[in-house]
Amino acid sequence: MKAWILGGLLAALVLGAGCGRNVDAPTVDEYAQKRAERGKGKASQVARRGRAGKADDAAETQGLGRVGEGYEYVVTPGRRDPFRSFIEEQKQRLAKHERGPLEQFDLSQLTVTAVVWGTGRPRALVEDPSGRGYVVQVGTPIGKNDGTVTSIGDNSVTVRETYVDYLGAQTSKEIEMRTRSTTQGG
C-alpha cells in the first residue's frame, strides 16, 4: 500500500515539473506577428516579379528548385528512360507479335492432359480452363510471360518463361507441367 502511495506522489511530482511554461519560447501572438511580417515581404516580391514569377515562387515554397532554361534530358544508350512508363513499355513489347490462344492464360490455368513422347517429334495435349484442347510441341509459345515449350517427357511438359523486371533485366524460369495421374480403386 505504501508503494502505491509513494509511486503516485512520485508521478505527480514528475508531471507537475514537466508542465511548467518555457520562458524562452515565443508566444502564439508573437508567432502570428512574425508570420504576418514574412507574408507581407513575399507579397511585395511577387508583385515586383510579375506573373511569371508566381509559378517559380510556388515551386520554391513547395520545396522544389527552379529548372534552368534550356535544360534537356538526354537518354543514355543502354539505360531505361526514367520518364517513360514501365507498364506502357511492357504493353508495347507484348503487342509487337500477335498472341496465340495459349498465350492468353497463365500456366497455372492450363492442364496437361496427354503426352505422345516415343516419337521423333514428341507432342502434348494441353487444355485451357474452358476445356478446349491444344496440341503443343517443342518451341510452341505458351503462357502470359513469353513462355516456350522446351521439352516434352513421358508425363510432363517443361516450359521456360522469361520475366522482365522494372530495370529491364530478363530472368528465365523453367516450369514443369505434369499430367494428372488418376488411380482407379477396385
Domain boundaries, the chain: 100-178
Chain mean pLDDT for the chain: 77
Q: Which of 40-54, 61-75, 138-152, 167-181 has the highest average model confidence (pLDDT)?
A: 138-152
The grid coordinates of residue 148 equal 516456350
pLDDT above 80: residue 123: yes
pLDDT of residue 166: 73
Q: Tell me the average pLDDT across 147-155.
A: 92
Whether 186 shows a pLDDT value over 50: the answer reads no
Region 23-38: mean pLDDT is 79
Beta-carbon count within 10 A of 102 CB: 20
Q: CATH classification of 100-178 is 3.10.150.10, yes or no?
A: no
**pLDDT value at residue 63:** 53
Beta bridge pairs of residue 127: 111, 133
Percent of the chain at pLDDT exceeding 90: 27
More confident residue, 56 or 34: 34
What's the DSSP call for residue 21? P
**How many other C-beta atoms can be found within 10 angstroms of the C-beta atom of residue 9?**
10
Q: Higher pLDDT residue, 96 or 75?
A: 75
pLDDT tens-digit series, residues 56-95:
555 555 555 566 667 777 777 877 777 778 777 777 766 6
E strand intervals along the chain: 111-116, 123-127, 133-137, 141-142, 147-152, 156-164, 170-178
